[in-house]
Each structure stands twice: as C-alpha cells, then as structure tokens.
Amino acid sequence: MQLLKLEATMVSLSASHLKPRCFSSSSFSSGVKVCPWRGLDEWRESHLNENRKWGEHGPEPLPLFCDSTPLGQASSLAELGSIVLSTSDPLAKSQLSHMAYSMWRRQNLPLGISVPPSRPARPPNPQLVSPKEIPAPKDSGLPLNAYMLHNLAHVELNAIDLAWDTVVRFSPYSEILGEGFFADFAHVADDESRHFSWCSQRLAELGFKYGDMPAHNILWRECEKSSDNVAARLAVIPLVQEARGLDAGPRLVKKLVGFGDNRTSKIVARIADEEIAHVAVGVYWFASVCQKMNCAPGSTFKDLLKEYNVELKGPFNYAARDEAGIPRDWYDDASMSNQDKKDKDGHKKQLSEVYERLASIIAMEKENSSWTKPPE
C-alpha cells in the first residue's frame, strides 16, 4: 500500500470528489456507514482563532506581534510548514505555526511543494527517553497538576509537528488529495499551537515550564512509521494517537478536579473538546482515501495497524469517538459484525472441542496408569 500505488488509483480524480458526504456500504463493500462529524463544516469555515491566552473566564485573544520572522522567505503553505518544523524553540514554534496558517489564509498563498526535515527541530530540554524511563509523579519534582500538564504540553507540541509534517510530506500529491486535505491539517496545526500556548501559560503560572521533566518520543516514532503512506498516516495519527486523547481527556479532568486545580481542569476539558475536530478530520480523509483506492475503510484500518505494528488500547470514550465519527467496529472487537462474531465464536467452539478431547485423553491415561500400577 505504498503512496505511489495510491497515486495511480487517485490521479484521475479531482477535488470535486472530496466534498463532505457519508461513505456507505455501496462505496466500500462494508456494512458500516461512515459519516463526518456534524460540526466539520462549521470548523472548516470558522474565522482565525486568536484566543491564545487563557483568561480568568476562559480563552481570550492574544494577537501576535513580531517584527521579523523567517516566514517571509516562504511563498506557499508547504514552505511555511517546513519553516515551522525547522524551528526548535517550543514557544516560537507555537507562534510561527499560528502565523503560518494566518498568512496562508489571509494572503491566499498556493499550496506549493516542499520537503520536510527528517525530524522536527527540538530544544535541548526536555530530555527524550523511553516510556519506562519517564519518572512517576512522586519522583518528577513537579506537583501532580504540573506533571499532568507537562505531559499534555508535550503531546500538543508533537501534534503541531505531526500536522505540519502531514501537510509538507504529502505536498507533492496535492492534485491527488485535493486542497481541502492540506487546509484541514494546517487548521489542525493552528489549533494544536493554541493548545500548547495555553499549557505553557498555565505551567508558568504554576512556577514551571515545558522541559522541566523528561518526555518520550513515541508520537514522532509513530509519525516516522507512516512517512511513506498517506492512508497509514491517517490511521496511525488522528485515528489512533489523537483518538487516545479523546479517551484520556475526561479522566485527566477528573484527576485535576480531585487535586483541586479547577483552572487547569477547564483548560484540559476545552482542549479535549476541540480534539474531536481533529479526529473527525482523520475519519473524513481516511474514508475518502479508501474510497479512491476502492477498499473498505474498516478492514483497511485494521490491516494498516497490523502492518505498522500499532496497538489499540482502551478504555475507550465511546461517546466522544462516536461524535467524531469513528465506527466502533474499527477499534472495538465487542462491536464487530454479526458474521465476524459467528466466525470468532465458531473458532472458540472448535478450540473448546479440542480441549475437551485432550482432557478426556489425559483422564483416560491417568485411569489406565492407575490400573497398571504395581501394588506396593
């Protein structure tokens, strides 16, 4: 399922085929209906969001003023994305992400073509370690609320790069994928930069900053896996990684409320709510790509996760996932089709019969050995 194979099947299709719609069984030979999130059109058509400050009562405008930026060297969306990816300072990356998206929309720049860096630029801190080396809250040197907020800030910073990498990496295929694909993921990058800004501000209010404790590099590792396949990128990042944010958000909010930090809990709740749009974007474009490839999205999603060794972990926030439009049978075995259940139940029955026969043979062997055992 390499990208070049995808190109061959998509090259004759125009952007007019990419308008919002429901993808049903007639298109995919699948009994599951995939419908976009109800708020997707409203999200796409929304004005530039300048609410980058978290005020006393929630998000507030914080216009960015910068006399000179490297963005002036760019003449297309893809080039703007490459500059953001090549920026190491986290706050500068967040600000440039918003400025890049704003420039593209306001100046009506073309999509263009660019090559992303092999890895996004990163600051010296936080130190990137394996998940097993991430300190427990009690050993981190941070209070629980700052610990959880730092972890979220790390996710949001990575999410900025993940979205821009998708824009830049697949920019040579803009005629195949359509302008809407790149507009959506640039919009996602802008949202993620705003989320990182909120997290950074709140960390500073608590007396800490991003980089005060180690972090893992799992998110970028998953991104690298899917660098050669747009369908895999959509499956791995928005439909797995970002969907995990939908699962974890409510639990994180409850922990923060229990800790007594209502201000941080409101920030996290708002971020979790806005992530629904990002997962919905993934559902929409994954279904669209599958339609162009004439393959069923549900089975293709599962096949890609196996091929790229990506694990699905619960517990799942079914309500949020349903709202984002992910069919449950894509990720939850309990929601599989009746035929799949029959096949699985039949397999279990066959195994049960085998085990029963083995148990019977073992019991007979024991009985025979007791009869043949010589008296003491």
pLDDT digits (tens, 9 = 90+) for 291-347: 999 999 999 999 999 999 999 989 999 999 999 999 999 999 866 544 444 444 454
Percent of the chain with pLDDT strictly greater than 90: 72
Going by CATH, does the domain composed of 3-336 fall within 1.10.150.120?
Answer: no
Q: Residue 284 corresponds to which tokens in the numbers above?
A: 């929409």
Helix (H) or strand (E) holding 58: strand 58-60
What's the predicted TM-score (pTM) here?
0.84
Domain definitions of the chain by residue range: 3-336, 337-376
CA distance 59 to 239: 27
Place of tokens 């500068």: 92
Q: Residue 181 corresponds to which tokens in the numbers above?
A: 């694909």
Average pLDDT, the chain: 85
The answer to whether the CB of 28 falls within 8 A of the CB of 290 is yes
pLDDT digits (tens, 9 = 90+) for 160-169: 999 999 999 9
pLDDT digits (tens, 9 = 90+) for 150-194: 999 999 999 999 999 999 999 999 999 999 999 999 999 999 999
Is cis: bond before 59, omega within 30 of 0? no
Is cis: bond before 126, omega within 30 of 0? yes
* Burial degree of 167 (CB within 10 A; 0-12, 13-18, 19+): buried
Rg (CA), the chain: 25
Q: Which of 53-62, 216-225, 336-345 has the lowest average pLDDT?
A: 336-345
221 — pLDDT class (breaks 50, 70, 90): confident
**Which pLDDT does position 335 carry in this prediction?**
62
DSSP 146-187: HHHHHHHHHHHHHHHHHHHHHHHHTGGGHHHH-HHHHHHHHH
**Which pLDDT does position 17 carry in this prediction?**
33
